[in-house]
Amino acid sequence: MNSPAIERILIPESEIRRRVAEIGRLVSEDYRGRDLVLVGALKGAFVFLADLARAVAIPHEVDFVRASSYGNASSSSGTVRVACDVSLDLKDKHVLLVEDIYDTGCTMATLLERLAAKGPASLEICALLVKNRPREAEVAIRYAGFQIENVFVVGYGLDFAERFRHLPYVAVVSRNSARTA
Protein backbone atom coordinates (compact mmCIF):
# COMPACT_ATOMS: atom_id res chain seq x y z
CA MET A 1 0.00 0.00 0.00
CA ASN A 2 1.33 3.45 -0.95
CA SER A 3 1.56 6.19 1.60
CA PRO A 4 -1.89 7.84 1.91
CA ALA A 5 -2.24 11.31 0.40
CA ILE A 6 -4.96 13.95 0.09
CA GLU A 7 -6.52 13.81 -3.38
CA ARG A 8 -8.89 16.80 -3.15
CA ILE A 9 -10.69 18.96 -0.63
CA LEU A 10 -14.38 18.09 -0.51
CA ILE A 11 -15.59 20.62 2.07
CA PRO A 12 -13.41 23.64 2.84
CA GLU A 13 -12.93 24.97 6.35
CA SER A 14 -15.04 28.08 5.71
CA GLU A 15 -18.07 26.02 4.64
CA ILE A 16 -17.78 23.78 7.66
CA ARG A 17 -17.56 26.80 9.95
CA ARG A 18 -20.67 28.35 8.38
CA ARG A 19 -22.70 25.13 8.59
CA VAL A 20 -21.66 24.35 12.16
CA ALA A 21 -22.78 27.84 13.19
CA GLU A 22 -26.16 27.26 11.49
CA ILE A 23 -26.65 23.90 13.21
CA GLY A 24 -25.66 25.49 16.52
CA ARG A 25 -28.38 28.11 16.05
CA LEU A 26 -31.00 25.47 15.21
CA VAL A 27 -30.07 23.35 18.22
CA SER A 28 -30.19 26.41 20.48
CA GLU A 29 -33.73 27.23 19.28
CA ASP A 30 -35.03 23.66 19.39
CA TYR A 31 -33.70 22.84 22.86
CA ARG A 32 -34.26 26.16 24.61
CA GLY A 33 -35.46 25.55 28.18
CA ARG A 34 -34.55 21.84 28.09
CA ASP A 35 -31.78 19.86 29.77
CA LEU A 36 -29.60 19.23 26.73
CA VAL A 37 -26.65 16.83 26.65
CA LEU A 38 -24.39 16.64 23.60
CA VAL A 39 -22.91 13.14 23.40
CA GLY A 40 -19.96 12.86 21.04
CA ALA A 41 -18.91 9.55 19.50
CA LEU A 42 -15.14 9.25 19.79
CA LYS A 43 -12.84 9.47 18.20
CA GLY A 44 -14.20 10.89 14.95
CA ALA A 45 -16.62 13.45 16.44
CA PHE A 46 -14.13 15.21 18.72
CA VAL A 47 -13.52 18.18 16.41
CA PHE A 48 -17.16 18.61 15.35
CA LEU A 49 -18.38 18.37 18.94
CA ALA A 50 -15.83 20.93 20.13
CA ASP A 51 -16.99 23.42 17.49
CA LEU A 52 -20.70 22.60 17.82
CA ALA A 53 -20.67 22.96 21.61
CA ARG A 54 -19.29 26.49 21.19
CA ALA A 55 -21.96 27.28 18.58
CA VAL A 56 -24.80 26.19 20.87
CA ALA A 57 -25.83 29.27 22.78
CA ILE A 58 -27.93 27.61 25.48
CA PRO A 59 -26.62 25.86 28.63
CA HIS A 60 -25.80 22.21 27.98
CA GLU A 61 -23.67 19.32 29.17
CA VAL A 62 -21.13 17.36 27.13
CA ASP A 63 -20.22 13.70 27.33
CA PHE A 64 -18.64 11.03 25.13
CA VAL A 65 -18.98 7.44 24.07
CA ARG A 66 -16.20 5.57 22.32
CA ALA A 67 -17.31 3.50 19.37
CA SER A 68 -15.17 1.91 16.71
CA SER A 69 -15.93 -0.11 13.61
CA TYR A 70 -13.23 0.60 11.03
CA GLY A 71 -10.01 -0.40 12.79
CA ASN A 72 -7.28 0.64 10.36
CA ALA A 73 -9.27 -0.26 7.24
CA SER A 74 -11.03 2.15 4.88
CA SER A 75 -14.35 0.35 4.94
CA SER A 76 -16.49 -0.45 7.97
CA SER A 77 -16.03 -3.89 9.52
CA GLY A 78 -19.74 -3.88 10.38
CA THR A 79 -18.95 -4.87 13.95
CA VAL A 80 -19.22 -1.94 16.34
CA ARG A 81 -17.21 -1.99 19.54
CA VAL A 82 -18.35 0.35 22.34
CA ALA A 83 -15.22 0.72 24.42
CA CYS A 84 -16.30 3.56 26.71
CA ASP A 85 -19.73 4.67 27.93
CA VAL A 86 -21.07 8.08 29.02
CA SER A 87 -20.38 9.15 32.59
CA LEU A 88 -23.38 11.50 33.01
CA ASP A 89 -26.81 10.31 34.10
CA LEU A 90 -28.94 10.73 30.95
CA LYS A 91 -32.27 9.94 32.58
CA ASP A 92 -34.91 12.52 31.57
CA LYS A 93 -32.30 14.59 29.72
CA HIS A 94 -32.57 15.61 26.06
CA VAL A 95 -29.72 13.78 24.38
CA LEU A 96 -28.24 14.77 21.04
CA LEU A 97 -25.81 12.18 19.71
CA VAL A 98 -23.10 14.00 17.74
CA GLU A 99 -21.35 12.02 15.01
CA ASP A 100 -18.88 12.93 12.33
CA ILE A 101 -20.32 10.67 9.63
CA TYR A 102 -23.38 8.52 8.87
CA ASP A 103 -21.95 5.81 6.66
CA THR A 104 -23.25 2.22 6.96
CA GLY A 105 -25.35 3.28 9.97
CA CYS A 106 -24.02 0.46 12.15
CA THR A 107 -22.31 2.74 14.67
CA MET A 108 -25.31 4.99 15.22
CA ALA A 109 -27.78 2.10 15.43
CA THR A 110 -25.62 0.52 18.14
CA LEU A 111 -25.15 3.78 20.02
CA LEU A 112 -28.85 4.71 19.81
CA GLU A 113 -29.84 1.41 21.37
CA ARG A 114 -27.32 1.86 24.16
CA LEU A 115 -28.29 5.49 24.87
CA ALA A 116 -32.04 4.79 24.69
CA ALA A 117 -31.62 2.24 27.49
CA LYS A 118 -30.56 5.09 29.81
CA GLY A 119 -34.05 6.64 29.77
CA PRO A 120 -33.47 10.04 28.11
CA ALA A 121 -36.45 12.37 27.62
CA SER A 122 -35.51 12.50 23.93
CA LEU A 123 -32.77 11.12 21.73
CA GLU A 124 -31.78 12.61 18.38
CA ILE A 125 -28.80 12.55 16.05
CA CYS A 126 -26.64 15.29 14.63
CA ALA A 127 -24.20 14.14 11.93
CA LEU A 128 -21.81 16.46 10.13
CA LEU A 129 -21.59 14.21 7.06
CA VAL A 130 -24.23 11.96 5.54
CA LYS A 131 -22.80 9.63 2.93
CA ASN A 132 -24.96 8.89 -0.08
CA ARG A 133 -24.95 5.08 -0.09
CA PRO A 134 -27.09 2.05 0.77
CA ARG A 135 -27.18 1.50 4.56
CA GLU A 136 -26.88 -1.56 6.70
CA ALA A 137 -28.86 0.22 9.42
CA GLU A 138 -31.18 3.20 8.88
CA VAL A 139 -31.46 5.85 11.55
CA ALA A 140 -33.20 9.24 11.50
CA ILE A 141 -30.80 12.18 11.35
CA ARG A 142 -32.34 15.28 12.95
CA TYR A 143 -29.48 17.62 11.98
CA ALA A 144 -27.33 16.80 8.95
CA GLY A 145 -24.40 19.01 7.98
CA PHE A 146 -23.55 17.91 4.45
CA GLN A 147 -24.64 15.16 2.06
CA ILE A 148 -21.54 13.68 0.43
CA GLU A 149 -20.78 11.20 -2.31
CA ASN A 150 -19.73 7.64 -1.49
CA VAL A 151 -16.00 8.24 -1.14
CA PHE A 152 -13.60 7.70 1.73
CA VAL A 153 -13.08 11.01 3.50
CA VAL A 154 -10.70 12.26 6.16
CA GLY A 155 -10.13 15.43 8.14
CA TYR A 156 -12.10 17.43 10.71
CA GLY A 157 -11.89 14.43 13.06
CA LEU A 158 -12.07 11.64 10.49
CA ASP A 159 -9.03 9.45 9.99
CA PHE A 160 -7.38 6.97 7.73
CA ALA A 161 -5.36 4.60 9.94
CA GLU A 162 -5.39 7.34 12.62
CA ARG A 163 -3.94 10.00 10.30
CA PHE A 164 -5.52 13.25 9.04
CA ARG A 165 -7.90 13.86 11.97
CA HIS A 166 -6.33 17.29 12.56
CA LEU A 167 -7.09 18.71 9.09
CA PRO A 168 -9.48 21.71 9.29
CA TYR A 169 -11.32 20.59 6.13
CA VAL A 170 -12.90 17.35 4.83
CA ALA A 171 -10.91 15.72 2.03
CA VAL A 172 -10.83 12.66 -0.17
CA VAL A 173 -7.82 10.38 0.26
CA SER A 174 -5.92 9.24 -2.83
CA ARG A 175 -7.32 6.06 -4.37
CA ASN A 176 -3.84 4.53 -4.34
CA SER A 177 -3.99 4.39 -0.59
CA ALA A 178 -7.65 3.90 0.36
CA ARG A 179 -10.50 2.17 -1.41
CA THR A 180 -13.99 3.66 -1.39
CA ALA A 181 -16.25 2.18 1.25
* Residues classed as catalytic: 103
Tell me: cis bond preceding 118? Omega within 30 of 0 counts. Answer: no
Please state, as a whole number, how many other Cβ atoms lie within 10 Å of the Cβ of residue 42.
16
Distance of alpha carbon 19 from alpha carbon 13, whole angstroms? 10
Min separation Cβ 59 and ligand PRP, Å: 26
State the residues that interact with ligand PRP by CB under 6 A. Answer: 41-44, 67-70, 76, 99-107, 159
- Minimum CB distance to ligand PRP smaller for 17 or for 81: 81
Strand pairing report for 170-173 and 122-131: unpaired
Min separation Cβ 100 and ligand PRP, Å: 5
Strand pairing report for 6-11 and 36-42: unpaired
- Minimum CB distance to ligand PRP smaller for 28 or for 68: 68
Residue nearest to ligand PRP (CB): 44
- Minimum CB distance to ligand PRP smaller for 43 or for 118: 43
Min separation Cβ 108 and ligand PRP, Å: 6
Distance of alpha carbon 179 from alpha carbon 122, whole angstroms? 37
Half-sphere exposure (Cβ direction) of 23: Cα atoms closer than 13 Å = 26
